[in-house]
Amino acid sequence: MTDMRTFMLMAALTALFLVAGQLLGGQSGMMLALLFAVGINFWAYWNSDTAVLNMYGAREVGPQEAPELVGIVTELARRGGLPMPRVFIIDDASPNAFATGRDPEHAAVAATSGLLRILSREELAGVMAHELAHVKNRDILVGTISATFAGAITSMAQMAMFSSLFSNNSEEEGGNGLGGVLMMLLAPLAASLIQMAVSRSREYGADDGGALMCGNPLWLASALNKLESGSRQIPLREAETHPASAHLFIVNPLSASSVAQLFSTHPPMGERIMRLQQMAANQR
């Protein structure tokens, strides 16, 4: 069900991309934006893991520096049939975690020092299982693809502000001045909403997969409850500077006052916890 929903959302992004190109600049405007977005996202595909880890000042750790964390990830990777990912710690009091990497062979998981401080071993296993489920489901790749289309649509809107896409030549190619203005205003918003929905659907899938991988849905449910409260009290400082990376984290790292909360990439926490509790009840 999650895969079908994601496919439908990706199809919606593709359709929006084509409509935006046609309205803003006809065939030439669409191709120019596509080439621009593909170039950026090609780089991101190969380097996004390093870039985001550097952005948050993550440091790689091994069994000697973080025996409990590395031991849990090792056991969960074995259970999930995954290659052992690289393990990182982010020195930040805000409790959170994320996974990155273009595929399971090039994956990394990162946890903040705040998360390690407040979670029990079982809760930590639930969180790391959630992140490894993202890796197993190749959610990072899905996010990259959706970002490609969303970025291309936004680029078209920006080009419409600084170029002559509404010229007679553009109209002859199929562009439409009024439609272009509307798309310039509405396309980035629509792309953000669709990208948000893609991320939300994948969070539910990672909750389900993580609960199965660690063996007890209530471990993850308990962890989410603590992380929700903790992240509200202590927002992740770097995420406030780079809100576009918020979708990577297991819980929304942004402060409640942030405008970016209007476009939260995370489903309601109460619903996530309720789903996990229901899963645990069904296993009895």
pLDDT of residue 103: 87
- Which residues participate in catalysis according to the annotation? 131
Q: Tell me the C-alpha distance between 151 and 41, whole Å.
A: 9
Query: What does the pLDDT look like over 157-214, one tens digit per residue?
Result: 666 555 544 444 444 444 455 555 555 565 556 655 655 666 667 889 999 999 999 9
The label of the residue with tokens 């471990």 reads 219
Quick one: tokens of 135? Answer: 């890796």
Beta-carbon neighbour count of residue 178 at 10 Å?
Answer: 9
Q: What's the Cα-to-Cα distance from 91 to each of 58, 170, 234, rounded to whole Å?
A: 7, 51, 13
How many degrees, rounded to 5, is the angle at CA 152 between CA 146 and CA 156? 150
**How many structural domains comprise the chain?**
1
Which domain range does residue 97 map to?
2-283
125 within 8 A of 149, measured Cβ to Cβ: no
pLDDT of residue 91: 96
Q: List the alpha helices (DSSP H) in 56-138.
A: 67-80, 113-118, 121-136
Beta-carbon neighbour count of residue 207 at 10 Å?
Answer: 26
The three-class DSSP label of residue 275 is: helix
pLDDT of residue 164: 46
188 within 8 A of 37, measured Cβ to Cβ: no
Is this model's pTM higher than 0.85 or not? no
Low-confidence ranges of the chain (pLDDT < 70): 1-26, 29-30, 32-41, 44-45, 48, 141-200, 243-244, 256-265
pLDDT of residue 168: 47
How many degrees, rounded to 5, is the angle at CA 108 between CA 150 and CA 246? 40
pLDDT of residue 75: 98
130 within 8 A of 110, measured Cβ to Cβ: no
pLDDT of residue 170: 45
pLDDT of residue 42: 72
DSSP structure string for 29-67: HHHHHHHHHHHHHHHHHHHHHHHHHHHTT-EE--TTT-H
pLDDT of residue 260: 47
